């Protein structure tokens, strides 16, 4: 029953793409093409395009959320080039925390990620926590151990009630599937969602973590979305490359809408 109530979410991570002059129009086009009842939509542009995207969406489709792709773990200070959670006020309502590209390129650790999450929540941002294993870890059969460790490492220092109140979202993004055109199978993604919720249960989340939406991310397209939305434990997608293409986003959100409608009908 809780699964039936869980929100369906499609978030687009634009990564390091778009300049402000084009971002507003792209967001507006995507918003217009994805007006599907029951699906929460979020666009996460680069910092420099947050204002343009926010302004375009406020005017044309305020239902679409705006998210940042990162946030610093301190509130202010001598951190050249960084952006803190309070600085995102008025620019973003959501934030991606701990993307694997930041683990890879910025050396982000689970402990640091926990602090980022805390700052995000204090600032009223809705966090999307990304977790996922490397190819070698999957080949060694370590995927559940790795992802559980990441979830525990990021969340253990906060009260589950705080994280639930912040409406935490977790995205399972196997690193080997990001930008490669290769996706996990729906069955594998569902197994990882179960492992994530088992960890949430250990941490003391209510209802065995069943209230926390779990998204799949990694080469999602309009063609592969069905594979994931067919799994009751998967609640949507965190989309990279395809989130820059309005046609793709239209297909992805339309498929998500079928699940949202089915869930609404089964409550």
| Contact footprint for ligand 13P (CB under 6 A) | 13, 99, 173, 178-179, 217-220, 238-242
Instruction: Using the minimum distance from each CB to ligand 13P, give the nearer residue, 46 or 240.
Output: 240
Decide if 60 is catalytic: no
CB 30 within 8 A of CB 12: yes
Q: How far is the CB of 179 from ligand 13P (least distance, A)?
A: 4
In the complex with ligand 13P, which residue's Cβ is closer, 172 or 205? 172
Indicate if 99 belongs to the active site: yes
State the nearest-atom distance from the C-beta of 17 to ligand 13P, in Å: 10
Give the distance from CA 199 to its chain's centroid: 18
Catalytically annotated residue among 72, 73, 99, 133: 99
Residue nearest to ligand 13P (CB): 240
Of 108, 173, 227, 248, which is the active-site residue?
A: 173
In the chain, the largest separation of any two C-alpha atoms, in whole Å, equals 52
Going by C-beta distance under 8 Å and a sequence separation of 6 or more, which residues neighbour residue 80? none
Q: Which of 153, 156, 145, 167 is nearest to 203 (CA)?
A: 156
- DSSP-assigned states of every residue in 185-215: -HHHHHHHHHHHHHHHHHHT-GGGGTTS-EE
CB of 202 to ligand 13P, least distance (A): 26
Cβ closest to ligand 13P, residue 245 vs residue 263: 245
- In terms of CB distance, is 49 or 205 closer to ligand 13P? 49
Looking at the DSSP assignment, which residues form a beta bridge with residue 94? Answer: 67, 126
> In angstroms, what is the minimal distance from the CB of 136 to ligand 13P?
18
Q: Annotate 37-70 with three-state secondary structure.
A: CCEEEEEECCHHHHHHHHHHHHHHCCCCEEEECC
Active site residues: 99, 173
């Amino acid at each position: 029953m809780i699964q039936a109530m869980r929100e369906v979410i499609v978030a687009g991570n634009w990564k390091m793409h778009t300049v402000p002059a084009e971002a507003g129009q792209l967001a507006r086009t995507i918003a217009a093409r994805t007006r599907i009842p029951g699906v929460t939509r979020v666009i996460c542009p680069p910092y420099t395009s947050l204002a343009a995207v926010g302004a375009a969406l406020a005017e044309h489709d305020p239902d679409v959320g705006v998210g940042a792709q990162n946030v610093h773990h301190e509130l202010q200070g001598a951190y050249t080039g960084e952006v803190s959670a309070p600085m995102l006020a008025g620019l973003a309502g959501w934030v991606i925390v701990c993307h694997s590209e930041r683990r890879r390129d910025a050396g982000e650790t689970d402990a640091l990620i926990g602090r980022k999450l805390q700052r995000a929540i204090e600032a009223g941002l809705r966090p999307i926590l990304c977790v996922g294993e490397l190819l070698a870890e999957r080949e060694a059969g370590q995927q559940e151990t790795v992802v559980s460790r990441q979830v525990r490492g990021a969340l253990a220092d906060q009260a589950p009630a705080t994280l639930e109140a912040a409406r935490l979202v977790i995205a399972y993004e196997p690193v080997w599937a990001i930008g490669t055109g290769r996706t996990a199978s729906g069955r594998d993604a569902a197994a990882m969602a179960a492992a994530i919720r088992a960890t949430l249960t250990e941490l003391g989340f209510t209802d065995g973590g069943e209230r926390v939406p779990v998204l799949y991310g990694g080469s999602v397209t309009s063609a592969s979305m069905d594979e994931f939305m067919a799994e009751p434990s998967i609640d949507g997608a965190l989309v990279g490359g395809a989130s820059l293409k309005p046609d793709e986003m239209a297909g992805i959100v339309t498929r998500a809408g079928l699940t949202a409608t089915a869930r609404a009908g089964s409550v």
